[in-house]
Amino acid sequence: GSTAAPTTIRQVKLEKECEFRVEVSPDAPLRLRLLTGTAEIFGTEIPPEIWLTFPPRLKCAVFTWYGATIEVDGTTETDYTADETPMISYVNVHAVLDARRNRAKASPGNSDASQGPRVIVVGPTDSGKSTLSRMLLSWAAKQGWKPTFVDLDIGQGSITIPGCIAATPIELPIDPVEGIPLDMPLVYFHGHTTPGVNVDLYKVLVKELAHILERQFAGNAESRAAGMVINTMGWIESIGYELLLHAIDTFNATVVLVLGQEKLCSMLKDVLKNKSDVDVVKLQKSGGVVSRNAKFRQKTRSHRIREYFYGLSNDLSPHSNVANFSDLCIYRIGGGPQAPRSALPIGAEPAADPTRLTPVNINRDLLHSVLAVSFAEEPDEIISSNVAGFIWITNIDFESKKITCLAPSAGSLPGKYLIQGSLIWYEP
């Protein structure tokens, strides 16, 4: 008999246009490498021979256009090979976008013709929006474009922590393990993981972000021609639908990709039928998209916050700072819940201003709060300013009037004003 430790390494052979779908187990990472042929993960080619390590709970697919053999090391939650995927239709969309980028690049000056495609991806939760956005960005980057990624999903953002809308240029195909580099994204803080808490604030922030990008595009022909890919929330009913229309309009989207819902697609086609410069395209949802329940989403959010401070593999060393109560200027936006209609005189409307700033006194509720550090120089600039980063309150000492917080790095904060939303994080 053999005395060697049991090996968990196995080979998977993929025929052309097939994919290996895997959910990494919740408590151990998975290693994977490409042995022969070529393969990609969500639009990014994987290098031959090199072992890639995927963190627990990650769900992904290794797709091959021409056939490949991969090697997998470790146990998985589930894994299987699929020969039916919507990849051909996705790459066809990419080809159309690519042609439009070339046309934009060839057009002089700041004319409308020099604007590349502005793609917005919409659909219900778990329809594969983030994944399709990622593929389109990576395929574009592979061809040398620097498209701008805009993420309007404040529930499960992929650029920064939850509760934010953000944008960043994508200069290289997105790393299948590391995700989007956190270099210098343009981030606006809503502070809540659903826009319903303050819809007006969400709209204001979307407008601010669009406005800044518009300005950047005006001065940068390269990013203008590359255009943008905008990922949205899975909330597509009532106010969610209204917010989609608001985003399409605010960013002047020219291509609307609708994933996995006939009804949404026909509604959008109908309202946009008079806009000849907007194409609404229905795309099939991939059978590989994994549904994530509320608990899983909550966990993912919490992991994103941990990743912000500690890095994906604990490779960052955040810094703990102590400050006096009097040193901190914390604000909330929206001044709490509105008075119920029943408490008002007949005919009166609830009057709370959703973008009103309320100073926050240091109180117990701040413990474990994640606050945004605004770039604003005056309080009245807070709403319209983007944020530099985040801090996490780890201790409040009411006797000595000192507060301890964790920041990504040592030194003074990049701004004086802090914004509190409803983000709370408990270190696991």
Residue closer to ligand ADP (CB basis): 185 or 288: 288
Q: Is 125 in the site for ligand ADP (CB under 6 A)?
A: yes
Q: Is 148 in the site for ligand ADP (CB under 6 A)?
A: no
Interacting span for ligand ADP (CB under 6 A) from 125-133, 201-209, 308-316, 407-415:
125-133
Residue burial 269-296, b: 16+ Cβ < 10 Å; e: rest: beebeeeeebbbbbbebbebbeebeeee
Residue identified by tokens 């009245």 is 380
Q: Is 289 in the site for ligand ADP (CB under 6 A)?
A: yes
Interacting span for ligand ADP (CB under 6 A) from 135-143, 180-188, 250-258, 288-296:
288-296
Q: How far is the CB of 203 from ligand ADP (least distance, A)?
A: 21
Interacting span for ligand ADP (CB under 6 A) from 30-38, 171-179, 287-295, 357-365:
287-295
Q: Is 130 in the site for ligand ADP (CB under 6 A)?
A: yes
Q: How far is the CB of 96 from ligand ADP (least distance, A)?
A: 21
CB neighbours of residue 111 within 10 Å: 9
* From 13, 59, 146, 246, residue interacting with ligand ADP (rule: CB under 6 A): 59
CA of residue 236 relative to chain centroid, distance: 17
Residue identified by tokens 């410069």 is 277
CA of residue 128 relative to chain centroid, distance: 13
Angle at 337 between CA 336 and CA 339, to 5 degrees: 125
Compute the distance between CA of residue 120 and CA of residue 167 in angstroms, rounded to an integer: 13
Our CA dihedral for 175, 180, 182, 188, rounded to 10 degrees, sits at 180
Compute how many residues bind ligand ADP; rule: CB under 6 A: 18
Q: What is the separation, in whole angstroms, between the first and last Cα of the chain?
A: 43
For residues 206-265, which are near ligand ADP according to CB under 6 A? Answer: 234
Q: Is 385 in the site for ligand ADP (CB under 6 A)?
A: no
Q: Is 40 in the site for ligand ADP (CB under 6 A)?
A: no
Residue closer to ligand ADP (CB basis): 30 or 289: 289
Q: Is 60 in the site for ligand ADP (CB under 6 A)?
A: yes
Token code pair at residue 26: 């919740």
Full DSSP string of 190-243: --SSSGGGGHHHHHHHHHHHHHHHHHHHHT-HHHHHH-EEEE--S--SHHHHHH
Q: Is 193 in the site for ligand ADP (CB under 6 A)?
A: no
Interacting span for ligand ADP (CB under 6 A) from 281-289, 338-346, 349-357, 413-421:
281-289
Q: Is 86 in the site for ligand ADP (CB under 6 A)?
A: no
Interacting span for ligand ADP (CB under 6 A) from 90-98, 119-127, 163-171, 353-361:
119-127
Residue identified by tokens 């200027």 is 329
Closest residue to bound ligand ADP by CB: 288
Question: Which residues are at the interface with ligand ADP (CB under 6 A)?
Answer: 19, 21, 59-61, 123, 125-131, 234, 286, 288-290
